Amino acid sequence: MSRLSRRDFLKLAGLTSGAVAMSQLAPRFLRQQDNSKPNVVIFVFDAMSARDLSLYGFKRATTPNLEKFAERANVYHSHHAGGNFTTPGTASLLTGTYPWTHRAFDIAGLIERDHVKHNIFTAFGSGYHRLAFSQNLLANYFFGQCAYDLETILPASSFSVIEQVTGEAFTKDLASGYRAFDNFLFQDGTPPASLVFGLADRILLRTRAARNPDKDYPRGLPRAGDHPVYFRLDDVFNGLNTTLKELNTSAPYLAYLHLWAPHAPYKPSKEFDAKFLDNFRSIRKPDHRLGEHTQYYRLNNRRQNYDEFIGNVDAEFGRLIGSLENEGLLENTYVVVTSDHGESFERGVEGHVTKLLYEPLTHIPLLTSAPGQTSRQDIFAPTNNVDLLPSLLHATGHTIPDWTEGTLLPGLGGIEDSQRSMFTIEAKGNPAYAPLTKTTVAMVKGNQKIIYYTGYEAEDSFEVYDLGADYEELQDLYPAAPSFVKALKDELLEKVDAVNAPYRKR
């Protein structure tokens, strides 16, 4: 008998059970099906900016399948992330709190110990089968923190073509395994963290990738950034299709599914590669003094690649939703489509590892479809990803905990509040357990937006925009000081001072 490799075993387990359960949690997978409670499926598409989706009016036809799905969903037009990269954005979604509360705001940050139990998995309780999957190891750190409130954690390498994720061997402490091995010892950085082990791991991974060319991907197989995971999009969606079908045998369930795409590197299949060879050019904006000064022509080229990757993801999502609908597997399920943050191709900034908080980085998609929903509802009032946790708890009949900082989403029990204040925080250079003194904070209130920069330069600075009249954030109103600016500034500074107060006493 031929010996199964570790990767083959994980794949086989994923395709036969729909999930690879941690050994100590596996017995809890067995439960009686209870169709009286609705299921919840959350799709998180990493780095998907609302500003590049035709669903929201973008000129390229990037999302025809999301548009079809939207015909029976609530579509939120002013939905914002809690942060501008994976760690704070995902933690805010999972905890229903802002980064200044959960404190996971550096690159590989964790939720503060006192707030670990303040998460969506704990709040849903053991009456639900709770499954978490992310191709992004940064999100997997949170799963490690929440492990005893999850029946199933699907490894990051599930449904991959090539993988060398060492941390997955440490099933009793996935977060530490990922951090010690994949994020430190074997990290594919420049230079590698370990010149001996890191370099050897890199050579082996590159050799395996070179030996596995795929004619369907002219730019090479998609890869989960610096993580040692190569995948085909159709394999990932096929795997999720099987997983969700198997989960229906243990309903009710909560499935959090965090996919890498359309995050960089942008590598669409041949069907979408070069799909948008058009004359579209984004508005040329001046480089920001805190940006990276990437050249305009490169930003346009990279945005084209990004839009093609979005189109590829959209097609696979449409295929998956169609399959689940045809088999009646969504009749008692809330389906959520969102992202953890956006992506920038302007002001000299490519990507999202930046100090800036402009709308392409913070404005993210949100669609929610309830069981039996047959019509579209468009919601234009500002919302934030801290709202998702309380809203899903309310929709499924759970008690909303008092620690959440979100409010009920319109369409899921809430009312539209056009004057509500919401926040996005960038603080990766700030110590996690100290006052926010090196940070960027954006506050959106109605159509007005203020951005506060502190700790980067000799003096603090502010920018103010009217998003209703100035969609591209080209006209900074702060220097002219119209009457509403002082009120915005005072409210923002008062909020920052309040959240800093507990950390000044430490």
pLDDT at residue 169 above 70? yes
Site of tokens 């704070």: 88
Nearest to 305 by CA among 269, 334, 257: 269
- pLDDT, tens digit, 9 for 90 and up, residues 244-285: 999 998 889 999 999 999 999 999 999 999 999 998 999 999
pLDDT at residue 31 above 60? no
pLDDT at residue 30 above 60? no
pLDDT at residue 17 above 70? no
CATH number of 437-506: 3.30.1120.10
Question: Could you write out the DSSP letters of every residue in 115-174?
Answer: GTT-SHHHHH-TTSEEEEEESSHHHHHHHHHTGGG-SEEE-TTTTEEEE--GGGG-TT-H
pLDDT at residue 18 above 50? no
Residue 322 contacts residue 330 (beta carbons within 8 Å)? no
The confidence score (pLDDT) of residue 19 equals: 36
Percent of the chain residues topping a pLDDT of 70 = 89
Separation between Cα atoms, residue 88 and residue 257, nearest integer Å: 17
Classified as helix, coil or strand, 136 is coil
Q: CB burial class (10 A; 0-12, 13-18, 19+) of residue 490?
A: exposed
Predicted confidence band of residue 171 (pLDDT cuts 50, 70, 90): confident
Residue 110 contacts residue 104 (beta carbons within 8 Å)? yes
The dihedral built from the CA positions of residue 346, 349, 354 and 355, taken in this order, carries a sign that is: negative
Q: What is the mean pLDDT of residues 349-356?
A: 96
Peptide bond into 482 cis (omega under 30): no
Q: What is the mean pLDDT of residues 91-120?
A: 96
The confidence score (pLDDT) of residue 229 equals: 87
Measured at the CA of 78, the angle between CA 75 and CA 83, to 5 degrees, comes to 115
Q: What is the mean pLDDT of residues 468-495?
A: 95
The dihedral built from the CA positions of residue 366, 367, 370 and 376, taken in this order, carries a sign that is: positive
The confidence score (pLDDT) of residue 211 equals: 75
Classified as helix, coil or strand, 192 is coil
The confidence score (pLDDT) of residue 149 equals: 96
pLDDT at residue 27 above 70? no
Predicted confidence band of residue 14 (pLDDT cuts 50, 70, 90): very low
Where in the chain are the domains? 6-172+233-406, 437-506
The confidence score (pLDDT) of residue 168 equals: 79
Select 6-172+233-406's CATH number: 3.40.720.10, 3.20.190.10, 3.30.1300.10, 3.30.2350.10. Answer: 3.40.720.10
Predicted confidence band of residue 191 (pLDDT cuts 50, 70, 90): low
Nearest to 489 by CA among 454, 461, 450, 453: 450
